[in-house]
Structure 1
């Protein structure tokens, strides 16, 4: 019985070895065929392959050697100013306009658009002079080129006020204290004056056209315009100076 069992085991092992040998041979044959096919494809389409390698390798190489490390939306502004406008800024020191009557900011329409705007600061002297001159130049261009009178709704904003506005929800602001350029005097919210009234609403076609023009003018002065943000703020501009706001 043991002898017969040994014969059967040897038969099984022999059959397994034969099948394994056939499988290895088939794999080798398939690998050789694949290698030959690949080699033939490369010889026939070498130009296409080279072009594909160039397309794949160029973008990462450009990113590597460009030296950029900041994510979009968090870096300081590197927007170039219009050369003609830059010359105006160097040669002209504009003076802030006379303050508007406080009652203009206390209307129901204004309060609906901008909560707590009555208590906001519109003191030009609390803002950074570099930003102030650009903003005043924007006001001047909007008036002389496009016929829009502009008014500042809020300039410098204290950290305490920023936190109060943030507590009102994302519809007002997503920025807490020291996360907004307002705390550094480098941002302002502005609107238009028409027939002695403050016009803020984006539903007003005249005002919406004004915001579009204001964005173009502001960007030509090297400012960042809130109208390009995901949470659009058409009346907001800011000057992102390097080393001012420390990210947390």
Structure 2
């Protein structure tokens, strides 16, 4: 894709240079426009008189025009070659050594180093929190917001090790820095359960089996634990503030936060690993 874009850019840039620098370029465009209408008139005349002489003359005229353009290219070969090199070298450098952040439209996501993140990268091994009582996932509020949650997997051992530690670090930062105690609602999700949830409707999920990072242990849905019960609803201002803080923390740890999606999923975070997802 990048090669195609670079080639397209090169063609457009060469055309612009030709039109601006060389008068013959502008003449060429004018000839094309006038030639187009001339060909139309000739074609109509050909159809009207049903003759072949006009068609032969048209082909001969087009051949002459093509020959003139080839002569122009040969005469200005050095200038065109210099323009090619001037345009191609910067693009080649960007494609070979540039990072996505260096391209237009990207903003740097670099943040000031957090001591806790540094500790994680140095090898700190965080332990999962204690499991919540099963009854916490069967309340009326939970069922209204997240149906069938009682059957979800909350086994931390089924999560990808890297994602497992990043998510635990997010939990730790949320509690120590912001005062929110996090709870895992669902981590690994089997292909069968993914298809079952997808069959309920897009308000639950629009991803089928192996189209979600849950099947690879690289995604988790989380909420908050307050006063002995789960707080999931986004209508709760306290919870909504927590979700936004959670999104900031998750992104600072290299995770993708569902709160930025068109179909917003504030409690969702995932770690996208190249070569894992099968499309």
TM-score, normalised relative to structure 1: 0.68
- Tell me how far 1:194 sits from its aligned partner: 0.9
- Tell me how far 1:246 sits from its aligned partner: 1.8
Structure 2 unaligned spans of 5+: 1-25, 28-86, 101-107
Higher relative contact order (CA 8 A, sep 6+): 1
- Tell me how far 1:243 sits from its aligned partner: 0.7
**Counterpart in 1 of 2:192?**
160
Q: Is the radius of gyration larger for structure 1 or structure 2? A: 1
Does residue 87 (structure 1) correspond to residue 87 (structure 2)? The answer is no
Structure 1 unaligned spans of 5+: 1-33, 36-57, 71-77
- Tell me how far 1:82 sits from its aligned partner: 5.7
> Cα RMSD (Å) of the superposition?
2.7
| In 1: Cα distance, 2:141 partner to 2:133 partner | 16
Cα gap change, 1:80 to 1:222, in 2 (>3 Å): farther
- Tell me how far 1:89 sits from its aligned partner: 1.2
Q: 2:232 aligns with which of 200, 203, 214?
A: 200
Q: 2:205 aligns with which of 173, 184, 187?
A: 173
Q: 1:142 aligns with which of 168, 174, 179?
A: 174
Count, aligned residues? 184
More helix by share: 2
**Counterpart in 2 of 1:184?**
216
Query: What secondary structure sits across from 1:93 in the alignment?
Result: coil
Q: Contact between 2:117 and 2:169, CA under 8 Å: does it hold in 1?
A: no
Does residue 97 (structure 1) correspond to residue 144 (structure 2)? The answer is no
Runs of 4+ in 1 over 4 A off after TM superposition: 61-65, 78-82
Cα gap change, 1:89 to 1:81, in 2 (>3 Å): farther
